[in-house]
Structure 1
Amino acid sequence: MLISVYVPFVVTAVLTLLAPRLARRLTPRPAAWALACAALVTAVGWTGSLTLLAFTGIAQIPQVAAEGHWSASALRAEDPVYLVVAAVSALVLAASVVSVGVATFRQVRHVVRARRECAALPGDVELAVLDDDAPLAFALPGGPGRIVVSRGMLCCLGDDERAALLAHERAHLRGRHHLFLSLWRLTSALNPLLRPLAHTGAFVLERWADEEAAARVGDRAAVARAVGRAALAAAGASRPALAATGGEVPQRVRALLAPPPARRASPFLAGALLLTVCCASLANAASDSDRMVDSAIRAQCAALSATTTAPPADDHRHGPGFCCGPHHRGEFGEHRS
C-alpha cells in the first residue's frame, strides 16, 4: 500500500501540469468533458489517499489499536506510516472537507440567487433586454435559463454580431456549462492542485460556446468580431461566469480566425490511461489496507487467546502440566472416586 497510496498524488500533479496546455489545443467540447472527468477522478483519488494515510498511521497508535481491537505492532510491521505523515494527512483532509463544505454553500447560494434573478427578469421569453447603457451580455442558468443583454451591448454590435453573441449565450445554456463550472469549483476547493484545471475549464467552455456559435451562424469571422467588440465594450466591467466577454479574449479570437481544431484521440487516450492508473492504485491501496487491518485483528486475537489459555506463572498446585479443561477435570474426578 505504501507505494500505491501515493499514485493518485502523482497523477494529479501530472494532469495539473499537462492538461491545461493540451486542453487549449483540442476540440473544446470533448476537452471540457475530459477536464471534468479528470477533476472528479483525481479529487476522489486525493481524498481516498489522504484518508488511507491518515487512518493507517493513526491506527498504529496503541490506544487507537486497543479501541479497534487490533495489534498495533502487527500493523506497523506490515506497512509503517510515520505518525507525522498521518497527522499531516489528517489535517489536510480536514481542511479539504471544510473547504468543499464552504464552496458547496456558496454554490447553492449562487444557484438560488440565479433562479431569483431569472424570475425577476421582465417577460417570459428566453431573451431579456435590460434598459441599461452598460454593455452586458451573459447567460443566467435557471429553470429555464435566460439570456440577458443590455441595450448598451446591442448598440455596440452589428446585426450579424448580435446573432453571434446570442448564439454564444444559447450554447452556454444548451450545454449546461454552469454544471461544469460548479464541478470544477467544488473539486478545486477539495484539492487545491486542481485550480489550474478549473481555470482552463472556464476558458474551454467559452471556446465551446464560440465554436457552437460559429457553427450556428456559419461565419467564424462574425463570431470573432462579436467576441472582440463585446470584450472591448465591457472592458473594466464585472464579468459574469457565463459571458461572451470571459476568458482570454485574444486567444479566443485567434482560434476563431483559424480553421476549426482537429479532433485528436491520443491526448484523451493518455488521460484515460492516467485516470485508470489512479483508480486502480486507489483500489489496490484500499484492498491492502483492509487486508492489513484483518491481519492485525487476527494477530490481536491470537495474542489474547494465548494469554487466556496459558497457565499462570506462579500456579504450581498441580505441577507444570496443570490444565483446567474438562478432560482433566474428569480424570481428577475418577481418581477421587
Structure 2
Amino acid sequence: MDMYMLLKLLVYQFTFSSQCPGHRPTYEFPHPLARVSQSAGYWLSYIVVDLLIWWGIRGYINEFRKRKLKLPPIAYFSTYHGSISHLPTGYMWSPHLVPKPIDWGPLVDVVGYCFLNLGSKYEPKEEFLQWIQKGTEPVYIGFGSMPLEDPKNTMGVILEALKVTGQRGIVDQGWGDLGNLMEVPDSVFLLKDCPHDWLFLQCAAVVHHGGAGTTATGLRAGCPTTIVPFFGDQFFWGDRVHQKGLGPAPIPIAKLSVEKLSNAIRFMLEPEVKSRAMELAKLIESEDGVGAAVDAFHRHLPPELPLPTSSSEDIDQPNPLQWFFIQIEKWCCPSC
C-alpha cells in the first residue's frame, strides 16, 4: 500500500474541521474563501479555490513525498479528484447555525461546537470586575490578532460609536494595539488577555473580526454579533450570523465607520435580536460536540484495514470536468 495512503488511513481516517467547509463542495453555499454571489457558481468555487491552494503547496508536498517517503509525486485532480469525498469528515460547528447541506451524504457529520472552556478557572482583576459591576452590560469590541492599518482612526470610530449610542464598551486591544497610549472615557475599558467564554457572558453584544472560535463563543454566550471581517472565512461567518437574524450584515474593516458601527450596535440591542441570540445559545448549550465527534469517528471506522489495490484500481476514470482540470494542471505545472 502507498505509505501516504496508509498514513491517511491511520491518522486522518476521520477528518475534522472547525473553521469552514473548504474541502467538501456543495450547491448550498460557496467556498468560504470565495466571494460568489450567484448560486450557480457555488460548487465550482470549491474546485477553483482548492486548485489554487494546491498549486501553492504542491511543491512542498511532492518534495516531502520524494525525499522523506520515497514516493512519486502526485497531481491533485488525477489522484484525489479535487476533494476528500472518499474520507469521512466531521465539521465542528452547530448545525443550528449552519445545517448540513443535503448534498454532503452519509460520510459527513456536522457534530456541533467543541469548546475548551478556558474561562472556567479565570479570575479577573478586581479593577476590571468592579468596572463591569458598576454599570449596564457593555458592548465588546475587538479584532484579536488582525492587523490594523490605522489603529488610532479605528479606535476613534469605536469611541464615537459608543458615545453616540450611549453604551459602555470593552475594547480588546489585541495585536492591533487599539487604544494604545490613548485617553479613554470611564465608560470604556481597555482589555488584554481575557478568555472569551468568561468575558462574553458579561456583555450585551459583541463586535469582532469573525474568527470561527470567536463567533462560536459569542453565540454560545447569547450575544448578538456584528462581524467586521478582514479576510478568509470571516465573511462566511458574518453572512451566517446575519442570515439567522443574530446581527447586522457584516461590515468589512475597510468600510467601518461611525455611522455603520452605531447602526450595528442599535440593531444588536433590539429585544428581538437578543431573544433570537438566547434561543440559539440554548440550542448550542444542549449540544455535545465532543461526544458527537467521538461517536462519528467510531461509526465511520472500517472493520479492518483495506488491502492494497493495484494502481489501475486506485483511481477511477475522471469525469469530464475533472479531466478538464487535469489537463490545465499538466499544462501549468508539468514538473509536478
Structure number with greater Rg is: 1
- Which structure is higher in helix share? 1
Q: Given the two structures, how large is their TM-score scaled by the length of structure 2? A: 0.25
Q: Which of structures 1 and 2 has the larger relative contact order (alpha carbons within 8 angstroms, sep 6+)?
A: 1
Q: Given the two structures, how large is their TM-score scaled by the length of structure 1? A: 0.25
- Which structure is higher in strand share? 2
